[in-house]
Chain A
Amino acid sequence: MKERSPLRPGELVFAILLAAFSALALWQAYRISGFTGLSTPGIFPMLASATMLIASAFILADALSRRRIESGAQTPVLTPRLVVFVAMVAAYVFAMPWVGFMLSSAVFLFAGFTVLWRRSLLVSLALTAGTLAVIWIVFRLVFQVVLPRGTLLQGFL
């Protein structure tokens, strides 16, 4: 018989969050049209969220029954590098509507290469410029995709 894998750090919390989210989704789905008919707009959302709730109950029960792993025995789920990078991505996507695509992408790419690659700043700068040039040509010029301009720096692209 296949041996069950030990519980990973944070897995139990994640399972609890999934169950809570599913319950909330079911409540919201019920509020769409309740049990008023089988062809109402709420029927499939209720079905989906009920499936999520049942599945999350099984996931939670499974997480509760598995043994915990000793700390340090496995790669942590949230490493400092991951947290910093996700924060950088969050700053990038939140800044984009304000400062525009080109400026926010330039800063993000340069910072990303510098933090993750840790090589010459000049190479990071050249890579950033090259990437933005390719994106500009492919998306803006060839496919005429309007890239976010930014409300603070109107017209800067």
Chain B
Amino acid sequence: MEHMLANIALSWFDPSLLMLTALGTLAGIYVGAIPGLSVTMATSILISFTFRWEVNDALALIAGVFVGGVYGGSRTAILLNIPGAPSAIATAIDGYPMARKGEAGEAIGLTTVMSVFGGLVGILALALFAPLIAGFAIQFNSRDYLLLGLIGILLVGSLSGESFAKGAFAGALGVLIGMVGLDPMTAEGRFTFGSIQLMGGIPYIVAMIGFFGVAEAFVQLHNLDRPVIRQKITRIIPRWSDLKRYFALVLRCSGIGTIIGALPGTGGDIAALLAYDHAKRSTPDPEVPFGEGAKEGLVAPEVANNAAVGGAYVPMLTLGIPGDAVTAVIIGALFIHGLKPGPLLLVETPHLFWFIVGNLVLANLFLLIFGLTGIRIFTKIVECPKAILIPLIIVFSAVGTYAIQNNPTHILWMLGFGVIGYFMKTYGFQVGPVILGVILGPMLDENFRRAMLRARGDVGKFLWDFVSHPISLVLTIAFVMLLLSQTPLWKRWRLR
């Protein structure tokens, strides 16, 4: 016990570890805030020069970047309607309307505190239930991932805006964009038209930057002459009443984030979208409507994506399976340092496990400090004249798009998506469902086909599998209930 506590607190009292965690968290916030600079990319680069370091030093820096980066994406989502990372897409839906009302300071303050709370719940789950959660997560198979994807795609209904048909179109367009390239199961070309450039597919960050960043820049051209909205920075620390009011939601979304983060192949992006959908369904009467600056819509995704960090460490440390792209890179780092993440890690090197737990807590505390102190400078971005901001957004979008795979064709895609996104926004389409489709489409496709292959193409067995396994049954019931709750019949029954 004493040994465990000493390892948890190791980074809290060691000056160099303390400094590295702080540096990593601060850098992570800025990496996360810039679209195109991903946490995965930053972690990979860190590994290239930390492999000679002491393992604890390297892990402290990487954990800081991971925690800071997941949170950082919310900054540009709130201030500019341009999510810095896919995990902040849902944050933009209600965060940006708050900034337009001059409440960016309050939005960022609330986001910061709730992100830290979510992060701590994720770490607590890692510390207390790691083997249990890992054992549960490993039982998920293709049809369960399919059901998760289907539950996620129902979010189209929540994100559709003025018309469900427009939302459905946007979501299906996203799925179609996600299908472009070689089929991962058969290597058959889909919508490639013989082009080598298209065979690699279209990364969803390119679509995100185009539909959100470039399209928003074009839309803002109409508002050049409007006076700049001055941000009220009178309240940064959230109200106690707000914290109390959202406590139950925060706990539920922390659970969603931890579980989704622990599932191999899913991460903060899917966790945030599911949590947003949950918030919308479970809050029938928000103070401000969803999509117009509802705090519930801001809190839920941010709590979930930060809780997913702790969740992602669970299968990585206990099973040696990455929970998401960043933990896949961290596994590489652990191997470089001669460690073996997997079932024996807790037995052979328990000190490392407890060090990671303590260090993640420290990174979250630094997140609270840096998140609440830099708000005034950040909010100046919104007060910058749009005539300066718009060309800057285009250039940062271009360099961010290019940085993903060093492919100039992606910049052309970005522009194309930007133009389509402009018309979609102008004619009342929401672009959120497009990104939802791009993220969930490949997951749905792959898992549907795997589940169908497991059933040997027999539709009867395929359907029976959904109700004959416990996890699948629970998810099927959840999916059917959520689907029913979107029908007019249900809504009429609720109003009765």
What is A's interface to B at a CB cutoff of 8 Å? 5, 8, 10-11, 14-15, 18, 22, 25, 28-29, 32-33, 37-45, 47-49, 51-52, 54-56, 58-59, 62, 75, 77, 79, 81-82, 85-86, 89-90, 92-94, 96-97, 101, 105, 108-109, 112-113, 116-118, 127, 131, 135, 138-139, 143-148
20 other A-B residue contacts (CB within 8 Å) besides A29-B191, A55-B165, A116-B387:
A10-B423, A28-B191, A38-B457, A41-B186, A43-B448, A44-B175, A44-B448, A48-B172, A49-B176, A56-B169, A59-B163, A59-B166, A85-B218, A96-B408, A101-B399, A101-B402, A108-B395, A109-B391, A112-B391, A135-B395
Whether A117 contacts B179 by the Cβ 8 Å rule is no
User: Quick one: which of B172, B175, B188, B387 contacts A32, CB cutoff 8 A?
Assistant: B188
Majority SS at the chain A contact face: helix
Q: Is B403 an interface residue (CB 8 A)?
A: yes
Nearest-neighbor residue (CB-CB) of A33 within chain B: B188
B191 to chain A, nearest CB (A): 6
**Interface pair A145/B399, CB less than 8 Å apart:** yes
Looking at B37-45, B66-74, B295-303, the stretch in contact with chain A turns out to be B37-45
Q: Are A127 and B388 in contact, with the CB atoms below 8 A?
A: yes
Q: List 23 A-B contacts (CB under 8 A).
A: A14-B427, A25-B191, A29-B190, A29-B191, A38-B452, A39-B449, A44-B175, A51-B168, A51-B169, A51-B171, A62-B165, A79-B222, A81-B221, A96-B411, A101-B402, A109-B395, A112-B390, A113-B387, A117-B385, A135-B399, A139-B403, A145-B399, A148-B408
Main secondary structure of the interface of B (DSSP, over half): helix
B427 x A58 contact (CB < 8 A): no
Contact flags B139-168 to A (C-beta < 8 A → 1, else 0)? 000000000000000000000001101101
Task: Determine which of B390, B418, B445 lies in contact with A44 in the assembled complex, contact meaning CB atoms within 8 Å.
Answer: B445
How far is B174's CA from A49's CA once the two chains are assembled, in angstroms?
10
The number of inter-chain residue pairs (CB within 8 angstroms) is 171
Q: How far, in whole Å, are A104 and B188 apart by their CA atoms in the complex? A: 37
Chain A residues whose CB sits within 8 angstroms of the CB of B172 once the complex forms: 48-49, 51-52, 55
Cα distance A28–B190 when bound, in Å? 9
Chain A proximity mask over B359-392: 1 for CB below 8 Å, otherwise 0: 0000000000000000000000000011110111
- Which B residues are in CB contact (< 8 Å) with A37? 457
Contacts of A15 in B (CB 8 A): 427
Q: How far is the CA of A54 from the CA of B167 in the complex (A)?
A: 12
